[in-house]
Structure 1
Amino acid sequence: MYIKAIITLIYGIVIAGGGVAGYVAADSLPSLISGGVLGIIIIAGSIMMFMGVAVGQGVAIFATLFVAGFFGFKLVKAMSAGESLTRAAVLVALSLIELAVLFAVKNK
């Protein structure tokens, strides 16, 4: 029934958790702030979707596009430098899946 909102909530938790993990692993305050803020925005969009507020999907799409763009850039940069692609590739893939869910799954 609320499959789109549930998947978006899970995605938001993953993004926020990734920010915390980046801070713990690399003492990266920018990871904590950006992951936390974007995760909270996506979670807020999910909550709005649960409540039937139409703008919630737009909020989630905007934040997800930002995440996809940021990690897409990091992926291209890592490919050029011959660095590990794993983290950026996973986040780009998750973001594209989330965007597909947001655009393809019908509201019920």
Structure 2
Amino acid sequence: MILQAAATIVYGLLIAGGGVAGFVAAKSLPSLISGGLLGLVALAGGLLMATGHPVGFWFAVAATALTGAFFGVKLATGLGKGKPVIRAAGLLALSLAELAVLTLLG
């Protein structure tokens, strides 16, 4: 459970940081809001798991699944339009890795 919690805390910080970076780079308020909220939910899930609360697992799964779904759609639509999709691919891979940690170590 500790490895899951630590991975989820790092994941939450990365997602929240990405939302802030998107806002700073492109003045994207949706990036700030979605990255901030999903990052905070994942961070809360990790902290809850670290303190032994099983509901933290579901917070983490929800935040990770929503983030992964968003970037999966972004990747799929970007590929069809010839847009650069490296960020979307990276964040989708990060989300899938986090889901693997949550489910395989749970």
**TM, length-normalised to structure 2:** 0.98
Whether 1:74 aligns to 2:74 is yes
Q: Identity of aligned pairs, percent?
A: 52
Query: Take 2:90 and 2:11, find their aligned partners in 1: how far apart are those partners?
Result: 12
Note the alpha carbon deviations across 1:38-60, whole angstroms, 9 max, x for none.
Answer: 00000000000011000100110
- State how far apart, in whole Å, the 1-side matches of 2:88 and 2:14 are: 14
SS of the counterpart of 2:83?
coil
5+ residue gaps, structure 2, are none
Within a 5 Å distance, the mapping from 1:83-102 to structure 2 comes to 83-102=83-102
Instruction: Tell me, in whole angstroms, the C-alpha distance in 2 between the residues paired with 1:63 and 1:104.
Output: 17
Question: Structure 1 unaligned runs (5+)?
Answer: none
Measure, in 2, the Cα distance between the counterparts of 1:24 and 1:7.
Answer: 25
CA RMSD of aligned residues (A): 0.8
Question: Residue 38 of structure 2 corresponds to which residue in structure 1?
Answer: 38
How many residues in Structure 1 have an aligned counterpart in Structure 2? 106
